[in-house]
Amino acid sequence: MGGRAAWTTLGYPTEGHVGDARRIAQHVQEARTVPIDATIADVVALGHLRYAVPVLGPGDVVLGAVQPAARDLPPETPVERVMVPAPGTIRPDVRVEDVIQQLRADHLDHVLVSTVSGVLVGIVVTDELHV
């Protein structure tokens, strides 16, 4: 049986002020991804990219992220060589207000969302969060 974070992530009701706060899980979008053995050609095949592309390992665990600028590299370049390893992620049960505040402070326009075990849930884009 999971703790409070697991309970909240699953959308079960909680009590009190914290229980009434909006959670980031409500705003997660599907992220376009590539596997760890992909090449830049695979990244280019995703089409226009505005945000970093998560690089996934077995079990959809986030291993890294490839920046959109990497599209200009030779197509045969392995993403493993150019990815940012272990990108910062947040958990789905974090309050929306807390995420907005942190993203603004860090001058970021998006953040990856993952489970405690590192499995990708999706992406949250700052412009699409409304407080």
Domain containing 83 equals 4-10+21-128
Q: How many domains does the chain have?
A: 1
Confirm whether 15 is domain-assigned.
no
Confirm whether 81 is domain-assigned.
yes
Cβ atoms 129, 100 nearer than 8 A = yes
Q: Is the pTM of this model over 0.85?
A: no
Question: pLDDT-derived band of residue 12, with 50, 70 and 90 as boundaries?
Answer: low
Domain CATH for 118:
3.10.580.10
pLDDT (0 to 100) of residue 21: 72
Confirm whether 16 is domain-assigned.
no
Query: What is the average pLDDT across 54-67?
Result: 98
**CA 84 – CA 66 distance, rounded (Å):** 6
pLDDT (0 to 100) of residue 1: 46
Among candidate residues 95, 86, 90, the one with its CA nearest the CA of residue 114? 90
Question: pLDDT-derived band of residue 76, with 50, 70 and 90 as boundaries?
Answer: very high
Confirm whether 48 is domain-assigned.
yes
pLDDT tens per residue across span 81-115: 999 999 999 999 999 999 999 999 999 999 999 99
